[in-house]
Each structure stands twice: as structure tokens, then as C-alpha cells.
Chain A
Amino acid sequence: MTTTADVRGMTRRQLLSRATAAGASFVVGAGFIAAPDAAWAYETTHIKPEAFATLVQMARDIYPHDRIPDENYVLAVKGYDTPEAAPAIEAGIAALDAAAHGKGFPGYLGTGWERDRVDILRGMEESGFFQMIRGGLVTGLYNQKAVWPIFGYEGESYSQGGYLERGFDDISWL
């Protein structure tokens, strides 16, 4: 992942202006999606950036954790940005947008509330596309060590001697 928005000489202002035009949760540039504050960006290589931004929003709507930043959802799905996977992803996202149109929205990203997007997803949760994305997220999102501290999970402990001297029985509220 690139961490700045100006890898290809694009300024933050350009990105932001494109974001406004796209009306999306993400800044969408030529091959880029990025955070509104340009704290990070991801350059797609095979999936159209608009479709990728929709995919990232879909990932958050499937497993919404408000304390997990977008960056980790991007990491969770960027494995689909390959020549082999891209056509199926773009087809799936097109179906998602079509379902949104059917409910009177300009697209999946053009919905206002999470409940509108969840309603769209419920309508396609038995589809192979939805199940592939959801199944992949179980490891793609929750097996990122970077998100573990957000849940309080401490991960590996052997190198620190376990918890024998570090609070294995420190509960105090019972």
C-alpha cells in the first residue's frame, strides 16, 4: 500500500476534488482510492477504482467495526485486485449497484444510511459473490495483527513469559 496520495504527482487537492465528484465514501482518483484526509491511499491495478471503493464499503457493511479504520478493510480485500479475480469482482459490484438502483439510489455508494446498504446486501447474501467476500473477510480482516489491539486482544504471549506474572488472574470486579 502507498501511504501518500501523491505517488503519481497528484496533489491532495486533486484527489479531494475527484472525491467530491464521485460522491463516495472514498476519494477516487485515476487508479487510486484514498482516505478523505489522504492519510493513506491504495492504487488499484486491475479493478476499476470506483468498483474497488464500493467493495471496501461492502466489506465494512458486512463486518462493521467503527473503531477499525478504512485502511484495514482495504487490506482485507486488496487480494482481489488481480487479473484473475477482477472480472468477478466488477460483475458482483455491478450487481450491487443495480440492486441499489432498483431501490432508488444512484448506486451502492450513493445510499445514505448503513441500513439501506445492509438491506441491499440481505437481498444478495445467498449469492456466490457475497459469500466469497464475506468468507474471505473472516481471515482477511480479523487475522490482521493491526486490528487485534482494537479488540483488546493481545496475541502472542510466549515471548513475554505468558501471563503468569502479567495478569492471568487479575480480574477485580467479581
Chain B
Amino acid sequence: MAAPFDLTDDSVVVIIGTGAGGGVLANELAQKGVSVVALEAGGRYLPEDYVNDEWESFGQLAWVDPRTTSGDWRVAKDFSGLPAWIVKAVGGTTTHWAGASLRFQDHEWKAATTYGPVQGANLLDWPIDAAEMAPWYDKAEAKLGVTRTGGREGLPGNNNYKVFEAGAKALGYTEVHTGRMAINSAEYDGRTFCHQTGFCFQGCKWGAKWSSAYTDIPRGEATGNLEVRERCHAARILHDDSGKVTGVEYFDADGNLQMQAARVVCVAGNSFESPRLLLNSASSMFPDGLANSSGQVGRNYMRHMTGSVYATFDKPVRMWRGTTMAGIIQDEARHDPSRGFVGGYELETLALGIPFMAAFLDPGAWGREFTSALDAYENMAGMWIVGEDMPQETNRVTLNHAVKDQFGLPVANVHFSDHPNDIAMRNHAYRQGVAVYEAVGATRTFPTPPYPSTHNLGTNRMSEKARDGVVNRWGQTHDVPNLFVSDGSQFTTGAAENPTLTIVALAIRQADHIAREMSAQTL
């Protein structure tokens, strides 16, 4: 049967979310002839719709449904209703992402073994490893057209990169380049090359940056096997007496409750909505939420150890011109406990426009110390810090029954506090970032606190044993055989690298597994 599919068609795979995980999974399954209904809470926006304007774009794309926050992270004070800066649209956060596409380092698949016991950290090895993932990374890099892989050229360095590179080299760093980016340096896969426009975070108007919104999604739809239902918000996953899932209740674009039957359900709503949906699907058979016999649903929330360093100089930089994140220093990504922490971090170029710089440079600050920094905006360079943070059981997504969304469903509360290892790593990264800029004559530096999270990970983590996590090596829940998790929430640990490439690689691999099991009638 070809799309569109009937609500009662219980032969379909229902995927919730269409970003790096769900969008890729939907296309990969459709290409293999599997019938897929993808429920997407947001609307459809394409390159012609994107706007080169930070707040206007935020209004167009950001997920701003109510959420609450707690814990000692500064986001809970400065952006209490906005724990994450992620997207509600077809394509999910692949519209917004910067494009940095890095493989995990081999040892990062085995954090518990490599790092040993870390007090207060709920470390666990992934049940898969670098060798197993290598061919899937190959496929992911080819799909995304990642620069500096597969013979593809790197992007040219912009002004912000040149400052960053000069400082890095003065400091003796050697692994410094314009990144492995899912942004075309030359025409690739029918998409044009980067025109150095800036505004990578606002959706790439050239389509030079890979996004599932205008690659995997339309290709899946072209097979006739994929139906994307826009502005459809999943509310509850239903199951039968045998404990297998049977369908998904959702609110359609008109706010009416519908139920789509399903043979398999895959959850890919990012690391707040995915556990929230499982918890909101509690029943008499699963009183603590679906797939939650371990009690780990929502726990071990990771957001990467992040922060930024901005610096001003006596001459112009104009960091906003060109690719936002095409620049990386990888020398600190290694695991080297002599630095006073386990795991490592990447330094990546980053620029914000004046509207977002005012909001994020030092939230809540005012007066001349703050405004004199903005007065030097034209002479400013910037970098982002992204490192491995420690999974902690107490950092978690729970249901806040006191606050309901527009559909009357309890919202996600996001609780986060830094682990001492996160703080030690951030302080090290601040020092190194400041040193990079001082090496090229910075007149003033700004160790800037983390923004609302973009890398949300770990709230349905993958584990060998059912008691330690929510899903197995295929992203299949330990408790419910025909229920899968397909987004970053399945990350066992976060590694130091931007997560999208790994989410995509896992989704391609999961599609292969699901299609195989379906044809073997074991699913």
C-alpha cells in the first residue's frame, strides 16, 4: 500500500520526529520498501522559507512549548523555560545544527572501562564499539557529504577561523583545521556549495548544509512508502495485553486526537520529548512509563560540557561572515587525566549576531562592562567548547504534573547540575580558549557560560543489560520488542564530539536492522 496510509493500517512503522534520527530512519526504511508514517510536531520549512535574522528565525523554528527546569545550571536561572535551543519543524534540529560531523574516538565507546570509576558518575560502556560502527559512519559521512572525508575538500577558513588558527598554532596546537562539516565545499548530491553567508543556525538558505528537511524526507516521500504528518504531536504510545505496542495517539494539526496503528514504533523526539512520551504512556501494565523497568527512562541526561570564549582585538574580525562553525582544534579531545579530568573536549569556531550576542554573552549582565564588550563586536572572535560530560542518574527529565502543554499533557522538567569533572574540564577549556586569543593579541576575553542546550543526550540510554538502561544495541527497548528509540537519547555516554553524525550512523544501522527483522517476521 502506498502513502498516505490509513489510521487503522497496522502494517506501518510509526516514527515520532523527523530530525537526524527520525528523518534518516524514515527515509532509509522507505528506500527498503517499508511503509512509514512519520509524526512531526512542527511544520515544514524549506530553504526559501528560512530567514537571515536570529530572532525571527527563532520564532519560526524553535521548540518553545512549555518546559520547566531545575538544578544548579545557570540555564535554569537565565532561561528557565527554555532548557534547549532545538527545533520544531520537519527536519528537526538538522535545520539549526552547525554541521560539525565528527566520529567518536575509539575509546569513547568504552568510557567506563577507559576512565575507571568516577564518583557520582553513572558511566557505562556502550554495547557497541568503533569497529562495529565504522561502516555505518562511512555511510553517514557519504549521506551528509562531510568535508575532509571521502575525498571531499575542506571548507575555506573565514575571518573568525583565521584568528582561531593563528592563536592555536602560536600555542603549539597541531590538529587545527576548518572541520569535518556537513556543509558542501563543492557541489554534492544535487546541493550547491557554501556561499559563506553566515546564519548556519537559522537554516541554510542555499541548502549547502545537510538537513533531513530537504534531503532524506523528500527522498523518502518520493518512494511512496513514507507519509509525513506535519503538526502532529504524539501524546501516548498504546500497547496490548502482551506488552507490545500497537499504535500512537497524537493530536493532529487541528488539535483533534487521532490514533495511528503500528507494527513498530520508533521514538525520535530529542532527549526531552522522547522520555516524556514514554513516561506519559504509563499504563497499568507499565505504571512507571513504557520501557522503564530499569527506572532509567529520563535519567543520565547529558548536554555536553559547553561554554564559549569570545575575545576582542584592536582591529576588526567580523566573525559573523562565513560558515559559523568551520574551525576546530582537536588537540584537547584526547583522554588525559593529567589535566585534572577524564575525557576531552573540542574547540570549534562560533559566531553570533548582535541580537543573540546581547542575549547570550553574559545573560542578566548590564552596565558598561557588558555594553563595552558589545561596542567591540566588530573586533570580536569567538569559539565554542564542546566536551564529554558525565552521565549522572540525578540529571534527568521527569514529568511536571503542575504544568501542562497546549494539549493538557504534563510538560518535561529538565534537571541538571554539573559534575565536578564537567567543571574542571570547562575551566581548563576556558583557560586554553583565552590563551588561544591572547596569543594573537586579544585586548579582552570573555569566558561565556553555556547556552540553552543543543546537544541533548542520554535520557533513554543504550545498555548491554536491561537493568542498566532503556534500549539494547539496536536501539530496541529492553522491555518492549517492537518499540525503538532512534535519537540522541539512546547515547550511553556523550563523547566529546558533536552528536549528529553518530545519531545518523545509528539511524542508518537501525533501519537495516528493523527492515531485516521485519522481513524475517521476527518483528
Contact = CB atoms under 8 A, between A and B. Distances in A.
Nearest to A60: B371
B378 A151 contact: yes
Interface string B318-347: 101110000000000000000000000000
Interface stretch (A29-37, A96-104, A158-166): A158-166
Interface stretch (A2-10, A45-53, A61-69, A80-88): A61-69
B159 A171 contact: yes
Nearest to B167: A174
Interface stretch (B82-90, B192-200, B217-225, B413-421): B192-200
Interface string B98-138: 00000000000000000000000000000000000000000
A93 B43 CA distance: 43
Nearest to A167: B321
B159 A153 contact: no
A152 B375 CA distance: 9
Pick from B53, B163, B354 the residue with the most CB of A within 10 Å: B354
Pick from A63, A118, A162, A164 the residue with the most CB of B within 10 Å: A162
B374 A155 contact: no
Nearest to B358: A142
Contacts of B91: none
Pick from B52, B163, B366 the residue with the most CB of A within 10 Å: B366
Interface size classification for chain A: 35 or more
A163 B194 CA distance: 10
Nearest to A148: B354
A169 B349 CA distance: 14
Interface size classification for chain B: 35 or more
A127 interface: no
Contacts of A61: 367
Nearest to B356: A142
Contacts of B378: 151-153
A137 B322 CA distance: 28
A163 B351 CA distance: 15
Given A142-B358, A155-B53, A171-B317, A64 B367 contact: yes
Given A62-B366, A138-B358, A143-B355, A157 B371 contact: no
B375 A142 contact: no
Nearest to A154: B320
Contact of B366 (A134, A154, A162, A167): A134
Contact of A170 (B159, B205, B359, B440): B159
B460 interface: no
Interface of A: 61-65, 67, 118, 121, 125, 134, 138-139, 141-143, 147-148, 151-159, 161-164, 166-171, 173-174
18 contacts: A62-B366, A65-B374, A65-B375, A121-B366, A125-B366, A139-B359, A142-B359, A153-B378, A157-B198, A161-B197, A162-B206, A164-B195, A166-B321, A168-B159, A169-B158, A171-B159, A174-B162, A174-B163
Given A163-B195, A167-B159, A174-B163, 7 more contacts: A121-B366, A142-B374, A158-B206, A162-B196, A164-B197, A168-B156, A174-B440
